Copies of this chain bind each other. A is one copy, B any other.
Amino acid sequence: MVVKVYGPAYASPKRVLVCLIEKEIEFETVPVDIFKGEHKDPEFLKLQPFGVLPLIQDGDYTLSESRAIIRYYAEKYKSQGTDLLGKTIEERGLVEQWLEVEAQNYHGPIFNLVTQILFAPISGFPSDQKLIQESEEKLGKVLNIYEERLSKSKYLAGDFVSLADLSHLPFTHYLVNQMGKDYMIKDRKHVSAWWDDISSRPSWKKVLQLYKYPI
């Protein structure tokens, strides 16, 4: 059964795509145009009542929330492709910890920066300069803790790449490229080496090559 991934152009679905490629899982994509409001269509809301991407369908199994989807496939195909959960239950605990840090500490400010700097202008809304400044400060503090952590281990959860690292790719790509805020990464030696490592993985390069960002 081929996995269907909805909305491959957007950042959160790319979190799923890069992991599916790492796990060597066959998939196809279904375009969803957020700018046309297709994620709020009644048919889509039946599958995903919050009206957010991503969503996958795998036979008659439907799952949403990118970090839930990547956990599901990383576990279901544990021994296929790259192992993204660590070797022991203790390593998996650390993967879960850093995946939560990404979701709870890193994602909030970087999402605000992406929304205010890239999406507000094309949506005709004024950018909230105070929110931009606060978000950059918050993200900087999180990155300082990453710098310390990555001075001790090659990846966030230890010396093995995991879901926790890959989960940072889609929004950090915006930061480093479209938003011109690459100094936030480059000015921190260990974060910079980590970013170079994860963003040059063939899986991520393939995602970028196949599924252009909307902006």
* A interface residues (Cβ-Cβ under 8 A, vs B): 49-50, 61, 63-65, 67-69, 71-72, 75-76, 89-90, 92-94, 96-97, 99-101, 103-105, 142, 145, 148-149
Out of B49, B89, B100, B148, name the residue touching A67 (CB < 8 Å). B100
Contacting A93 at CB < 8 Å: which of B63, B94, B97, B100? B63
- Give the nearest-CB partner of A65 in chain B: B100
With A103-B103, A103-B104: A72-B49 Cβ-Cβ less than 8 Å: no
Task: Check B148 against A49 for contact (C-beta < 8 Å).
Answer: yes
A89 touches B101 (CB 8 A): no
Q: How far apart are A117's CB and chain B's nearest CB, in angstroms?
A: 21
Chain B's nearest CB lies how many Å from the CB of A53? 13
B49 touches A97 (CB 8 A): no
- Are A97 and B65 in contact (CB-based, < 8 A)? yes
> How many angstroms from the CA of A145 to the CA of B50 in the assembled complex?
8
B65 touching A101 by the CB < 8 A rule? Answer: yes
CB distance from A1 to the nearest CB of B (A): 13
A99 to B145, CA, bound (A): 25
- Say how far A32's CB is from chain B's closest CB, in angstroms: 18
Q: Which of B72, B93, B100, B148 contacts A96 (CB 8 A)?
A: B72
Contact (Cβ within 8 A) A65 B145: no
User: Of the candidates B68, B90, B148, which one forms a contact with A100 in the assembled complex, judged by CB atoms under 8 Å apart?
Assistant: B68
Which residues of B lie under 8 Å from residue A96 when comparing CB positions?
Answer: 65, 67-68, 71-72
CB pair A92 B67 closer than 8 Å: no
Minimal beta-carbon separation of A52 from chain B (angstroms) = 9
What are 29 A-B pairs at a CB distance below 8 A?
A49-B145, A49-B148, A49-B149, A50-B101, A50-B105, A50-B142, A50-B145, A61-B90, A61-B93, A63-B93, A63-B94, A64-B97, A65-B97, A65-B101, A67-B100, A68-B93, A68-B97, A68-B99, A69-B93, A71-B93, A71-B96, A72-B89, A72-B90, A72-B92, A72-B96, A75-B89, A76-B89, A103-B103, A103-B104
